[in-house]
């Protein structure tokens, strides 16, 4: 059986990779994937603490986080498709061109 520290280290590494990806990438799809990676890192932390403490609260939080992540992905993808139809690019630098 693995100790909780191992799960927390993996979760911290995943969250750091996601943060670096959000801050450095310019492609909107890659940014959304990095955000999903960060949310999964938080889910891993919730599950690890839930298992360590022996209650189900963390797993309930994971269910809600996954629901919000799915909604975020659907709305984000719809926005990217609409943006691509207008500008034929999903570069984040081009987003300010949508101003009136």
Set out the domains of the chain in order of their start, with CATH numbers. Answer: 4-92 (1.10.287.3510)
The span from the CA of 21 to the CA of 29, in Å, is 11
Q: How far apart are CA 49 and CA 57, in angstroms?
A: 9
pLDDT digits (tens, 9 = 90+) for 33-83: 999 999 999 999 999 999 999 999 989 999 999 999 899 889 888 888 887
Task: Assess whether pLDDT exceeds 80 at residue 100.
Answer: no
DSSP category for residue 91: B
pLDDT at 95 over 70: no
11 pLDDT above the threshold of 80 = yes
Sign (positive/negative) of CA torsion 58, 60, 63, 67?
Answer: negative
Give the pLDDT score at 4.
Answer: 92
């Amino acid at each position: 059986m693995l100790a909780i520290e191992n799960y927390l280290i993996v979760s911290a590494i995943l969250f750091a990779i996601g943060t670096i990806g959000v801050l450095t990438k310019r492609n909107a799809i890659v940014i959304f994937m990095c955000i999903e990676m960060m949310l999964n890192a938080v889910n891993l932390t919730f599950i690890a603490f839930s298992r360590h403490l022996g209650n189900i609260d963390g797993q309930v939080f994971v269910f809600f986080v996954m629901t919000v992540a799915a909604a975020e992905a659907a709305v984000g993808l719809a926005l990217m498709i609409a943006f691509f139809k207008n500008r034929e690019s999903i570069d984040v630098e081009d987003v300010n061109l949508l101003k009136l």
